[in-house]
């Protein structure tokens, strides 16, 4: 059972809980998720099953899109609704001020990871330090916000739509936006709408998956390996060439329509056999295997 399963995650469960429940229901040996959602958050949680777990390194690079609701005028120690209020303000901004401040966060920014996060500090997770009441100055990290649209302002709430690169904390974005406005803010609701080319509308509810009694029903929900990287160019090869790639050998590839260093999908008889990198050597351009996949 190999492929991507798009789950519509409900609130109140961790991403690991979702993995565990699907694994238990269908006795899948290899399964992982592509990007953690906080327990209170909802929305798209792609699960990689079987050989699809090898695609994680490529899919985690994809941008993500969220719909977030912020409460202005209050900060919490977790930067979201699950935390304790640490600061409040009665002075709230106008909708125009919210939109102006939000626009300043588009592009390359820096974020200080929240204390309640899995980031390591001197060999220990920040959330473990936070639970002991310790606070440390974590180093800022770069993040990219491709788009930040203010959908609605109904004070004290503001709804925003964010498209961002990997490693961006939406909780921290809400916190920093509140600081920029001078009133403070925290996240009260979060829904992931998309991961790269995959959309929430394509996902299936966790409870629906758990009610399935036939593995064939689950398999019909899987996105096949060959379709999991739609942004990558497809290169079709013969079975013998596929065998060479899966054994770690390179293939001559004289075509010039993919730049050196680009990754491509290598498909044989409709099945993904490898993700390969385009490399230029003295003897000419070749495809070098990056990850190879067992054919079932």
Least confident of 11-20, 93-102, 218-227, 287-296: 287-296
Query: Do 216 and 260 reside in the same domain of the chain?
Result: no
**Residue 283: its pLDDT value, please?**
73
Report the C-alpha gap between 204 and 225 in whole angstroms.
Answer: 18
120 pLDDT exceeds 60? Answer: no
Which range (87-91, 110-114, 180-184, 248-252) has the least confidence? 110-114
Model confidence over 262-273: pLDDT tens digits?
A: 899 999 999 999
Confidence of residue 24 (pLDDT cuts 50, 70, 90): confident
pLDDT band at 125 (very low <50, low <70, confident <90, very high): low
The pLDDT of residue 33 is above 50: yes
Q: Mark whether 160 and 72 lie in a shared domain.
A: yes
Q: Which CATH number is 243's domain given? A: 2.30.130.10
Q: Tally the residues of the chain.
A: 296
pLDDT band at 27 (very low <50, low <70, confident <90, very high): confident
What does the pLDDT read at residue 118?
55
pLDDT, tens digit (0-9, with 9 covering 90-100), for 227-242: 999 999 999 999 999 9
**In a shared domain, residues 45 and 81:** no
Please spell the DSSP secondary structure of 159-200, one letter per residue. Answer: EEEEEE-TT--HHHHHHHHHHHHTS-EEEEEEEEEEETTEEG
Same domain, 93 and 152: yes
- Distance between CA atoms of residues 161 and 192, nearest Å: 10
- As beta bridge partners, residue 274 has 266, 292
Q: Which of 66, 69, 23 minimizes the C-alpha distance to 200?
A: 66
pTM of the model: 0.89
Q: Are strands 120-121 and 124-125 parallel, antiparallel or unpaired?
A: antiparallel
Residue 179 token pair: 């600081």
Residue with tokens 């054994």, as numbered in its chain: 247
Q: Both 57 and 203 in a single domain?
A: yes
User: Residue 124: which CATH number?
Assistant: 3.30.2350.10
pLDDT bucket at 198, cuts 50 / 70 / 90: very high
> pLDDT tens-digit profile of 58-117?
998 899 999 999 999 999 999 999 999 999 999 999 999 999 999 999 999 999 876 555
- Shared domain for 118 and 45, answered yes or no, is no
206 conformational bin, left if phi > 0, alpha if psi -120 to 50, beta if neither: alpha
**Of 18-22, 41-45, 278-282, minimum mean pLDDT range:** 278-282
Residue 48 has pLDDT above 60, yes or no: yes
CB 13 within 8 A of CB 39: yes
Q: Which of 225, 244, 269 is the last residue of a domain?
A: 225
How far does Cα 164 stand from its chain's mean position? 10
**Residues 78, 43, 234, 272: is their CA dihedral positive or negative?**
positive
- If asked whether residues 87 and 158 sit together in one domain, one would say yes
Asked whether residue 57 falls in the same domain as residue 150, the answer is no
Total domain count, the chain: 3
Q: Is 144's pLDDT higher than 60? A: yes
Say yes or no: 69 and 55 in one domain: no
Q: Which of 172, 205, 225 is the last residue of a domain?
A: 225
Q: How far apart are CA 249 and CA 262, in angstroms?
A: 18
- pLDDT at site 124: 62
129 with 39, same domain? no
Residue 121: which pLDDT band, with cuts at 50, 70 and 90?
very low
Q: Which of 195, 214, 245 is the last residue of a domain?
A: 195
Average pLDDT, the chain: 89
One domain, residues 94 and 174: yes
Supply the residues annotated as catalytic. 38
Query: Residues 165, 95, 152, CA angle at the centre, nearest 5°?
Result: 60
Within this chain, do residues 177 and 72 fall inside the same structural domain, yes or no?
yes
Cα–Cα distance, 115 to 126 (Å, whole number): 5
The range of the structural domain enclosing residue 274 comes to 232-292
Contact of 192 with 34, CB cutoff 8 Å:
no
Q: What share of the chain is helix, strand, coil (3-state, %, to 5)?
A: 25, 40, 35
In this structure, what is the dihedral angle of CA atoms 192, 194, 198, 203, given to the nearest 10 degrees? 30
Q: How many helices (H) and strands (E) does the chain have?
A: 8, 19
């Amino acid at each position: 059972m190999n492929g991507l399963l798009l789950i519509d995650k409900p609130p109140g469960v961790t991403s690991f809980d979702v993995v565990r429940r699907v694994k238990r229901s269908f006795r899948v040996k290899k399964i992982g998720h592509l990007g953690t959602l906080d327990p209170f958050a909802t929305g798209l949680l792609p699960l990689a099953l079987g050989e699809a777990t090898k695609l994680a390194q490529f899919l985690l690079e994809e941008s993500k899109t969220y719909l977030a609701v912020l409460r202005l005028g209050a900060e919490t120690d977790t930067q979201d609704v699950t935390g304790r209020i640490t600061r409040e303000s009665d002075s709230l901004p106008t909708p125009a001020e919210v939109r102006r401040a939000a626009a300043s966060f588009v592009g390359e920014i820096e974020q200080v990871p929240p204390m309640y996060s899995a980031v390591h500090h001197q060999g220990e997770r920040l959330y473990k330090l936070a639970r002991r009441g310790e606070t440390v100055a974590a180093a800022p990290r770069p993040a990219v916000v491709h788009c930040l649209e203010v959908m609605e302002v109904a004070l004290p709430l503001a709804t925003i739509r964010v498209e961002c690169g990997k490693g961006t904390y939406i909780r921290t974005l809400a916190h920093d936006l509140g600081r920029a406005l001078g009133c403070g803010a925290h996240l009260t609701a979060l829904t992931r709408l998309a991961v790269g080319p995959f959309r929430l509308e394509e996902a299936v509810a966790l409870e629906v998956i758990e009610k399935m009694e036939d593995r064939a029903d689950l398999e019909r929900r899987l996105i096949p390996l060959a379709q999991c990287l739609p942004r990558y160019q497809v290169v079709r090869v013969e079975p013998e060439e596929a065998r060479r790639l899966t054994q770690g050998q390179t293939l001559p590839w004289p075509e010039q329509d993919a730049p050196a260093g680009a990754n491509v999908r290598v498909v044989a008889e409709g099945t993904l056999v490898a993700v390969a990198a385009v490399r230029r050597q003295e003897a000419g351009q070749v495809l070098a295997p990056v990850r190879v996949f067992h054919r079932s």
